[in-house]
Amino acid sequence: MYLDAAKPAKETVVETNGNGFHKPAAVYEKWQDWYASEISHHGAMCCEIAREWITSTDFSELGGASILTGPRWLRLKFNWGASSFPIYWCEAVRKKTLDCGALAALASAIFTARGVKNYRVQMVQRFSEASTNQWSNSWNDTSEQLRWMNDDLIYHEGCAIAAGDGEIKIWDPSAGWWVDPKSKDGYGGLLAVRLSAFNLPADVNFTWGKHSLSAYQWTNIN
Amino acid sequence: MKIYISGLYSGTNPQPGIGIARSLRAAYPGATLVGVEYSNRCSGIHWQDFDEIVLHRPWDELNLDAHAREIKRVLESGALWVSSIDLEIMWFASLFPGGHPNLLTPSLAALNQVGKPAIPAHEYLPVKIPTFVTTELSDWDLHAFCREHDWKVWLKGPYYEAVRVHGWGGFQDMRSVLSSAWATEKLFLQSHVSGYEESISFSAYQGELLDCIRMRKRDLTELSKTWAGDVSEVEEEMLVPLREMIRRINWTGGAELEMVRDADNQLWLLEVNPRFPAWIHGATITGRNIPAALVEGASGVKAEESVATGEEFTRVVLEIPVRSEFPLSPLPEPFGGGIGHSLKHPSGLLQFANRLHKLDFDNGQVSNGNGSKSKNQPTIVPETFVDDLKEIDFSDMQTPASLFLKNTAADYFARAAALSKELSTDEIEVINAYSFKTNPDERLIKLAHDSGFFAEAISLLEVKKALAAGFKPEQIILNGPAKWWRRETLPDASFYTIFCDSIEELNRVIAEVESGELKTEFLGVRLRTPNIRSRFGIAIDTPETFEELLETVKRIPEECKFGVHFHMASANVGVGQWWHLFESILRWCGSIEALSGRLIEILDVGGGWFPEDLGRNSGEKFRKAIEMIPEFLPNVKRIFSEPGKALAQPSMAVAMQILEIRGQNDGWREVVVDGSIAELPMYFFYPHRILCQDANGGGWKSLNRGKTQLLGRLCMEHDIVASNVELPSTAEVGDILVFCDAGAYDRSMSYVFGRG
């Protein structure tokens, strides 16, 4: 994830969890004030054409499958990598590479076009310092850690869909899979999650596996 | 305590014997575990947890009576037996129809309740069974099943093996391979279900559930076998009916329910394996020792408590020492010029299956998806076929000969015309167009003309033919990538529609319309949507092309109205897929209309329909489709339908004569006919119904499946015009065989070959 608007990290308290990983008291603190990424619209035909192309292509790619199917084709079309924001529809669809925020915004637009109620999802995942160092080197000219990283933690975005009475499923468009609500702390593990959506009341709660998530609130998963 | 465990194959598609042994060793450190195998190539015999190994001769050599006596002796001695070989379990069920207290496998009655593909016991569970049919149905019906399921189907063996079928040729090849391997025609086709695979494994003793767990596959082998998984409790909504099912069918032994969970959270039951799964020790790792629960339930001997060391498991590959008493055998010689050593099923399971067929298990294999039994059903042909054949004099006919089925053709064209009239509304007129390339036979063209069809041409030579046949220029639709071929024959008249195949062509035609060189009432485009393999139409799979298309459409001269064409052979992509494509095209058209500002006033939808698919509920489907159009395209006034293949295909047949009947070999025989794939070039793409006259030269009847191959007259290896048909025992040299359904591309693409 890369956001120009990101704010500097605050100092966090570090403790150890049951698996022996060092875990800040609020793993999401560095990204507390970040918003889910959006794709901007020029208010002109260029962006309208691009948006129509994405949603019509999605229907073709769906091949008659359920509208609740994850749009994995996005990752065949776009590599995962750095994007710069603001990014406009007419630019995004022509890129070869998009980051998790842009991919999540596209997935959200796709689910909306299919008539599937969906929400934007922000996540904190643990990888390893070896991984974050690799990403720092490949996304940057320098090896300095990027703002979406914090040691072995990373900020990530996805998209949730309504899957029943208050239940949701979380789609990770960068990975092309549904995030497991039983996710464990460890490499690739999900540590915290936050849901948001346009016009979503603040007092709404969701069930994700055994987790209860409140709109706009970061929730620790592990 | 002594426990026999059979089924120790441990390749990439392993049997569960090793996993069972590891789990039982953990639960009963002092027990004597005896590994039982039927080939020293099954590497599990070298596994360290076995105290003894009993190695029998392979199943094809085994004296079953003697082996049965030995098993009875073992069981009577007080030892327990856990089998992990499906076929062995079936055989045990025949030896002990009512079970044996020490035999930890299900009874024959219980096995019959879980026989695939019907799995009668599934009715107790909150699951569905994917649609299936037995391959004992006629080829005509099997092809229809594949089309109905968009060719997303699996051909499955009676006990093991499943192969994905992509087309008719591939189906025929794989059916031949599996039928030959398992020595049976009792295979089945089952529709594919997309989703995530998960299993429930349980153990039960005399109808009482002892323990069960749920496992989700998290990594797979190339054969989709479990490589890693997570283990959790079976949820209450499944557990209660599962317990009831086990009680009702009085299950004893281990089992695995293999399922797929689809995007809508529906569970589909694919198989119930009458044994533990090969990954069973993965569950033991998570603290749930299901095999130990079985042994404890049967013996009353308490198992040591399982200790969970994780909630997930994965596999690795291990090298272990070979037991000195079972040294490795040499590799067999590759067959002359062959590749590899062909070591599949080293214990002779294929031959064992063949021996078991004679026991004739009724485990649901021969029922079709509707639950009714069907065995080698004859193919049904329309009555008009037979009426037409009665009017043909075969006595002086030079064969191979193309037969025009006059009444059949008239009937099909009349029904198409009636359907289009019936589907038309005050707002939208439905018109048929006859695609000349399907079959340019004058009799069919005349029927099309007389039935009010428009003419669809892909070249100016076809336009010339249409005009000569009485079509007016304003009834001609020009299509295809090379429609201007033989430009010198371009008529000086206005076409009804020109559909351009590329943006380059659209630009050229716009220029020619503007200059007055071309005249057409409608100017449109043929679209190729993403996710479709086709060489035709404008591929709108990049935003750049889509934007360029929109810009070009905007430049279409105002005097031309705008339309869109899409064509995809439903026989190839499947009926459901075709309707999805139709809806997809409506969405693209809606976008094009909104973004270009050009109204879409005609929509041309082809085609490639199988006659039955067009007839089966098509009226209702088309009616719904036409109702859907105004939602996306409120300005469409005319819909063109191109049913050429559906009408032409049944309208002609090919008569062939038997030239030679060769001797039989194990029931199989070869018969040479004077026809060939030159007259039936579509043989590889769909089945043709074949008729022969009865012994008295009277009525016509269709050939069933059998053990005869009809060899064509050409000296070409692939010139086999029918496989696995049953000729009447009275068939003689000189008899006529009529290959139906040969009136479309079989006719138009037939070629001259081997005629001097």
- Inter-chain residue contact A93 with B543, CB threshold 8 Å: yes
Nearest-angstrom CA–CA distance, B710 and B723: 6
Are B264 and A66 within 8 A, CB to CB? yes
| 3-class secondary-structure state, position B736 | strand
Q: How many Cβ atoms sit within 10 Å of the Cβ of residue A8?
A: 6
Q: Does the structure show a pLDDT above 80 at B338?
A: no
Residue of A nearest to B587 (CA): A56
Q: Tens of pLDDT along B350-377?
A: 888 888 876 655 554 434 444 444 556 6
User: Is the distance from CB of B163 to CB of B154 less than 8 angstroms?
Assistant: yes
Q: What is the pLDDT of residue B428?
A: 95
Return the higher-pLDDT residue of A176 and B624: A176
CB contact under 8 A, B576 and A57: no
Min Cα distance B535 → chain A (Å) is: 17
Contact A52 B594 (CB under 8 A): yes
What average pLDDT does this structure show over B131-138? Answer: 92
Residue A22 lies in a domain: yes
Task: Give the distance from CA B128 to its chain's centroid.
Answer: 19
- The closest of B179, B289, B186 to B231, measured between CA atoms, is B289
Hey, CA dihedral for B726, B729, B731, B732, is it positive or negative? positive
By Cβ distance, the residue of A50, A57, A66 closest to B530 is: A57
Question: Which of A48, A73, A182 has the CB atom closest to B595's CB atom?
Answer: A48
What type of residue is A123? M
CA dist A70 and A110 (Å) reads: 10
How high is the pLDDT of residue B476?
Answer: 98
Fold classification of B2-124+194-314 (topology level): D-amino Acid Aminotransferase; Chain A, domain 1 (3.30.470)
State whether B262 and A56 contact (CB < 8 Å).
no
Look at residue A5 in the predicted model and tell me its pLDDT. Answer: 36
Contacts of A56 in chain B (CB under 8 A): 540, 584, 587-588, 591
pLDDT score of A222: 78
Contacts with B580 from chain A: Cβ below 8 Å: 62-64
CA-nearest residue of chain B to A162?
B264
pLDDT-based confidence at residue A14 (cuts at 50, 70, 90):
very low
Å from B194 to nearest chain A CA?
8
DSSP character string of B266-335: -EEEEEEESS--TTHHHHHHTT--HHHHHHHHHH-PPPPPP----SEEE------PPPTTSPPPPPPPPP
pLDDT tier, A20 (very low <50, low <70, confident <90, very high otherwise): low
Cα gap B734→B177, rounded to integer Å: 32
In the predicted model, what is the mean pLDDT of residues B5-29?
96
Which chain A positions have a beta carbon within 8 Å of B232's beta carbon?
A: 182
Residue with tokens 């439903």: B570
Query: Is residue B230 less than 8 Å (CB to CB) from chain A?
Result: yes
Residues facing B202 on adjacent strands: B212, B255
Alpha-carbon span B313 to B300, nearest angstrom: 29
Query: Does residue A1 carry a pLDDT above 50?
Result: no
Contact A60 B595 (CB under 8 A): no
B194 touches chain A (CB under 8 A): yes
CB contact under 8 A, A93 and B265: no
Q: Read off the CATH number of the domain in which A153 is found.
A: 3.10.620
Q: Is residue A6 situated within a structural domain?
A: no
Of A52, A69, A182, the CB nearest to B591: A52
Question: For residue B364, what pLDDT is reported?
Answer: 45
> Cα distance from A40 to chain B (closest Cα, Å)?
17
Tell me if A66 and B587 make a contact (CB, 8 A cut-off). no
Beta-carbon separation of B591 and A61 below 8 A: no
Q: How far is B319 from chain A (nearest CA, A)?
A: 28
pLDDT band at B223 (very low <50, low <70, confident <90, very high): confident
Residue A91 lies in a domain: yes
- Per DSSP bridges, beta strands A22-24 and A14-16 are antiparallel
pLDDT tens digits, one per residue of B403-449: 999 999 999 999 999 999 999 999 999 999 999 999 999 999 999 99
Angle, helices B543-554 vs A45-62, to 10°: value is 120
Q: Across the interface, do A93 and B532 touch by the CB < 8 Å criterion? A: no
CA atoms within 13 A on the CB side of A58: 25
d(CA B172, CA B184): 15
Residue B691 has pLDDT above 60, yes or no: yes
* pLDDT value of residue B12: 82
Helix (H) or strand (E) holding B259: strand B253-261
CA distance B741 to B653: 6
Q: Report the pLDDT value the prediction gives residue B372, as an integer from 0 to 100.
A: 45
Kindly state which CATH superfamily the domain B383-401+649-748 is placed in: Lyase, Ornithine Decarboxylase; Chain A, domain 1 (2.40.37.10)
Domain extent, residue A146, equals 14-220
| Residue A4 within a domain | no
Whether residues B194 and A93 touch (CB distance < 8 A) is answered with no
Q: Hey, of A46, A48, A52, A94, which one would you mutate to test binding to chain B, going by the most B CBs within 10 A of its CB?
A: A52
Q: What is the pLDDT of residue B342?
A: 57
Contact B595 A61 (CB under 8 A): no
ipTM of the complex: 0.90
Q: Which residue has the higher pLDDT, B366 or B696?
A: B696
Total number of domains constituting chain A: 1
For range B55-75, the mean pLDDT: 95
CA nearest to A177 within chain B: B196
Q: What is the crossing angle of helices B64-76 and B86-95, to 10°? A: 80
Among B18-32, B597-611, B669-683, which stretch is predicted with the lowest mean pLDDT? B597-611
Question: A-B interface: how many C-beta pairs under 8 angstroms?
Answer: 64
A108 is a domain residue:
yes
Q: Report domain extents, chain B.
A: 2-124+194-314, 132-192+349-357, 383-401+649-748, 404-648
At A94, which amino acid appears? Answer: R
Which residues make Cβ contacts (< 8 Å) with residue A59, sequence separation at least 6?
Answer: A113, A114, B583, B584, B587
Q: A63: which DSSP letter? A: T
Note the pLDDT of residue B337. 75
Nearest C-alpha of chain B: how many angstroms from A90? 9
Q: Chain A residues with CB inside 8 Å of B264's CB?
A: 66, 68
For position B360, what pLDDT does the model report? Answer: 58
Q: CB contact, 8 Å: B554 with chain A?
A: no
Query: Cβ–Cβ contacts within 10 Å for residue B264, how many?
Result: 12
Residue A6 pLDDT grade (very low, low, confident, very high; cuts 50, 70, 90): very low
Set of chain B residues whose Cβ sits within 8 Å of the Cβ of A52: 591, 594-595
pLDDT at residue B543, rounded to an integer: 96
Q: Which DSSP category does B668 fall into?
A: B
B336 touches chain A (CB under 8 A): no
DSSP one-letter code for B474: G
Confidence of residue B666 (pLDDT cuts 50, 70, 90): confident
The mean pLDDT value of chain B amounts to 93
C-alpha distance from residue B394 to each of B236, B264, B656, B678 (Å): 69, 57, 10, 21
The percentage of residues in chain B with a pLDDT greater than 90, rounded to a whole number, is 81
Which letter does DSSP use for residue B128 in this model?
B
Model confidence pLDDT, tens digit, residues B437-479: 999 999 999 999 999 999 999 999 999 999 999 999 999 999 9
> Do the beta carbons of residue B734 and residue B399 sit within 8 Å?
no
Q: Does residue A198 lie in a domain region?
A: yes
Evaluate whether residue A1 is within a structural domain: no
pLDDT at A137 over 60: yes
Query: B150's torsion region: left (phi>0), alpha (psi -120 to 50) or beta?
Result: left
Amino acid B509: pLDDT: 98
Nearest to A65 among B263, B540, B581 (CB): B263
| CATH code reported for the domain at B404-648 | 3.20.20.10
Query: Would you say residue A103 lies in a domain?
Result: yes
With bands split at pLDDT 50, 70 and 90, how would you rate the model's confidence at B555?
A: very high
pLDDT score recorded for residue A12: 39
Is it the case that residue A124 has pLDDT exceeding 50?
yes
Q: What is the pLDDT of residues B82-92, one digit of tens each?
A: 999 999 999 99
Locate all alpha helices (DSSP H) within chain A, ordered by sequence. 45-62, 73-77, 89-92, 100-114, 129-139
